[in-house]
Homo-oligomer: A and B are copies of this chain.
Amino acid sequence: MPSANASRKTQEKPREVMDAAEDFAKERYGVSSMIQSQEKSGKQCFLVLRQQQFNVQALVAVGDHASKQMVKFAANINKESIVDVEGVVRKVNQKIGSCTQQDVELHIQKIYVISLAEPRLPLQLDDAIRPEIEGEEEGRATVNQDTRLDNRVIDLRTSTSQAIFRLQSGICHLFRETLVNKGFVEIQTPKIISAASEGGANVFTVSYFKNNAYLAQSPQLYKQMCICADFEKVFCIGPVFRAEDSNTHRHLTEFVGLDIEMAFNYHYHEVVEEIADTLVQIFKGLQERFQTEIQTVSKQFPCEPFKFLEPTLRLEYCEALAMLREAGIEMGDEEDLSTPNEKLLGRLVKEKYDTDFYILDKYPLAVRPFYTMPDPRNSKQSNSYDMFMRGEEILSGAQRIHDPQLLTERALHHGIDLEKIKAYIDSFRFGAPPHGGGGIGLERVTMLFLGLHNVRQTSMFPRDPKRLTP
């Protein structure tokens, strides 16, 4: 049962057709380029025609509209070829369980091959869509991640991939829609920068004519400059580059950052609330508008629906520490969360508060970058926060220091060469409002919302220390 790639109705349109003398249906099928067909017998053949995430069963049967030769032609079209078809949609008595369109089939009257796929595919879509558990229990083929990524053009054709990336496009749309409604302005920030923004570690170097330049590890400085330039509330979506040699399930060397920065009036919690509400609007929008996609992905990768509270749960770091200690973890007051402790905390929070999304506020000052505003009431804490989905960090943010003098002090405390961050500090010398923000990792949000387990599933063409292609 060959599958063909797309169903399109043809109109009256001249085409070259195969030389099929004495065939009354010879105008009804053909290819533009020659193919070598093998013999096949039978009076009818079935095809599955797919268009994006939907498919329908189609039938070519010897009769008024199709000849024996035409049936043979259709039966020999390689899987994943692209065809134009014209036909009649007919109701079927028995549901077609293997197709998304279960109540109808298409009786083909004309069929033309638009693009013929090579006969041997590097992976089978049926295998690529099989749940792993089914593969293991029933000994049926599944496709490993490297084969998928090496042949991404085919892997992206599965209904699961189509759903993942349509939903991801929805995340960007909802992010912008929410922020534009809140009065934010979209900005574009440069990715090639003259100095490594956070001290030079984990930065990619670019040859820039006769000099060196760097790839931005975050748009933060530029977002902050826009705040100092009166834009008040800004956002941007763009690539972020991290030269970290981390080969984990959640690290990429290039990912898409959804970034927010805003001036506030009295308290940085104004910022925290805006960011958390933006994420909540994204979650709600996805559950309202992308239910088909969520269901499609869960067929291959089953998971619990994503849960969140309104307003968002906000815990202080010291509360989290208490919860972890109660669960037997030994941690110092100024120690950062390890990945296992992050996940454990996520489980504890889920048990106690029944939410997959929460804010962890007031991180120890010692574990945050130099530009983080210290907490005025507790010198060991800071006005900074992370946000978590299913126990994994998806956003890091803070109130930034907007006072040049305090910024200088904090940079010196961190042993940073003031000469290298002069331009950054100078940005705040001519009137700078108190402000804060954060950066969200698009691939992580997609992965964790859908309950997937590897960020490479939610990056179309992932980049990690070992993968630069396709």
Contacts and interface: CB of A to CB of B under 8 A. Distances in A.
Interface of A: 5-6, 8, 11, 13, 33, 50-52, 80-82, 84, 114-118, 121-122, 152-157, 161-162, 165-166, 168-169, 172-173, 176, 180, 185-194, 204-209, 211, 213, 215, 222, 225-226, 228-232, 237-239, 241, 243, 245, 253-254, 256, 265-266, 402-403, 405, 423, 427-434, 442, 459-463, 465, 468-470
A442 B188 CA distance: 10
A80 B430 contact: yes
Contact of A209 (B166, B173, B423, B465): B465
A283 to B, nearest CB: 19
A229 B156 contact: yes
Nearest to A52: B230
A350 to B, nearest CB: 30
Contacts of A460: 187-190, 222, 226
B50 A118 contact: no
Nearest to A245: B209
A109 B144 CA distance: 69
A156 B230 contact: yes
Given A82-B432, A192-B463, 11 more contacts: A116-B431, A117-B430, A153-B225, A153-B228, A153-B430, A156-B229, A173-B180, A190-B463, A192-B241, A192-B253, A423-B470
Given A118-B429, A187-B169, A209-B245, A468 B193 contact: yes
Copies of the protein in its oligomer: 2
A225 B463 contact: no
Contact of A231 (B52, B115, B187, B189): B52
A402 to B, nearest CB: 6
Given A208-B468, A433-B115, A230 B162 contact: yes
Contact of A215 (B13, B82, B206, B423): B206
16 contacts: A8-B265, A52-B230, A81-B431, A82-B433, A118-B430, A153-B225, A153-B228, A153-B430, A165-B185, A188-B256, A192-B241, A208-B253, A209-B245, A222-B461, A239-B239, A423-B469
A231 B155 CA distance: 12
A461 B213 CA distance: 15
A429 B432 CA distance: 56
